Amino acid sequence: MASIDRPKILVFGVGGVGTIYLYLLSRVSSPTAVCRSNYEVVRNDGFIINSSIYGNGIRLKPNVVRDCAEATFRDSRPFDYILICSKAIGQDIPDLISPAVTPDHTVIVLIQNGIGIEAHYQATFPNNPIVSAVVYLPVTQRPAGVITHGELERLEIGSYPSSASSEHSEAFTQLIRHAGGTAEHHDDIQLKRWTKLLVNASWNPICALTLCTDANFLLSSPSSSELVSDVMLEICDIAKAHGYTIPKEILELQLGRATARIGNGNGVEPSMLQDVRAGRRMEVEAIVGNAVRMGREKDVKCEKLNMLYLLARALDSQIENKRRTS
Ligand SMILES: *[C@@H]1O[C@H](CO)[C@@H](O)[C@H](O)[C@H]1NC(C)=O
Ligand SMILES: *[C@@H]1O[C@H](CO)[C@@H](O)[C@H](O)[C@H]1NC(C)=O
């Protein structure tokens, strides 16, 4: 049903990633955006996108709503797709999107970081197709409504679970390509999730806890690269216990990249470090906690990752306390 000509699309979570897909999909459809913190700005002025790929000064004025109930109220035709592009923080997203999910029809597309993030959606919407996507898209929104996008846009897409029919994940892949995006379909998207997690679950908490970029962390002590490598090996072991072999070259490549950045004095500021600096919650559970739990489940030793998890979780709880009281 979803491969109709102009599908009806809802984008939930319109930060940097959501806005870029909103922009691309607006070439083939009239997507609606659920805006939360940026609602007023976007409703009045729309977005301005400066992109190394699509050009500068792009104006985008989407249909905006405050929540999913409002999205369905305006037009009673069911949504063909809901894209979840918000950060994976808290467990309430399935409840928030439920007014816009038509059972047996709406395809739920998760464009989120982390591992083990799909099960909660599947439990809430057992009769809807779930598409799982791994996104590579360097993009920031600062201030609200102003989007700065770097030189990469890539989506890796597959069905969830991987054994489910690929009809909907293939159709979504085609839709993104038709809109001018870069999309690859994978029969088993979980290997792609683990591969990205190797980098994200190691560097994110390390940089957030130390306030170092990756290059600065490597410079801080002769043993620091060994710690990163140990954590990455633990993640490889957890993935392996779940049937996914992350190629060794990827591990070496990733460490090599960070080391190379020492030379040019730059270094990457992973998203959790950006969050800490901005006083925002971090995706600790989706990126680190779930990996540790999946390790435990299979009796995999992952003491270093577990320690990073507990410390990052403590830091996140302080950020949350501070937000509540300010
Ligand atoms: C975006 O690009 C426009 C046009 O080139 C420029 O005037 C503006 O300063 C840029 N904004 C940001 C935030 O980079
Ligand atoms: C995750 O890792 C990729 C590289 O594999 C990196 O480009 C991206 O910034 C990281 N994202 C987060 C949320 O840390």
| CATH architecture assigned to 9-188 | 3-Layer(aba) Sandwich (3.40)
For the chain, which residues make up each domain, given as ranges? Answer: 9-188, 191-320
Residue 194 is predicted with a pLDDT of 96
Residues 241-297 have pLDDT tens digits of 999 999 888 888 888 877 777 777 678 889 999 999 999 999 999 999 999 999 999
The H or E element spanning position 145 is: none
19 CB under 6 A from ligand 2?
no
Please state the pTM of the whole predicted model.
0.93
Dump pLDDT digits (tens) for 175-190: 999 999 999 999 999 9
Ligand 1 centroid from CA 42, angstroms: 17
Taking the CA of 147 as reference, the closest ligand is 1
Candidates 3.40.50.2000, 1.10.150.120, 2.40.50.140, 1.10.1040.10; correct CATH number of 191-320? 1.10.1040.10
User: Average pLDDT of 30-34?
Assistant: 96
Q: Which ligand has its closest atom nearest to the C-alpha of 213? A: 2
What pLDDT sits at residue 4?
Answer: 55
* Cα 92 from Cα 7, distance rounded (Å): 26
Per-residue pLDDT of 149-183, as tens digits, reads 999 999 999 999 999 999 999 999 999 999 999 99
Judging by beta carbons within 10 Å of its beta carbon (0-12, 13-18, 19+), is residue 148 exposed, middle or buried?
Answer: middle
H or E, element range at 258: helix 248-264
CA distance 118 to 115: 8
Determine the pLDDT at residue 1.
44
Residue entry with tokens 């435990």: 296
- Closest Cα to atom 1 of ligand 2: 200
Nearest-atom number in ligand 2 for the CA of 283 is 13
Closest Cα to atom 6 of ligand 1: 57
Residue of 41, 48, 50 to mutate, ligand 1, most atoms within 8 A of C-beta: 50
Q: Which ligand is nearest to the CA of 208?
A: 2
With a 6 A CB cut-off, is 280 part of the ligand 2 pocket? no
As a whole number, mean pLDDT of residues 81-98 equals 91
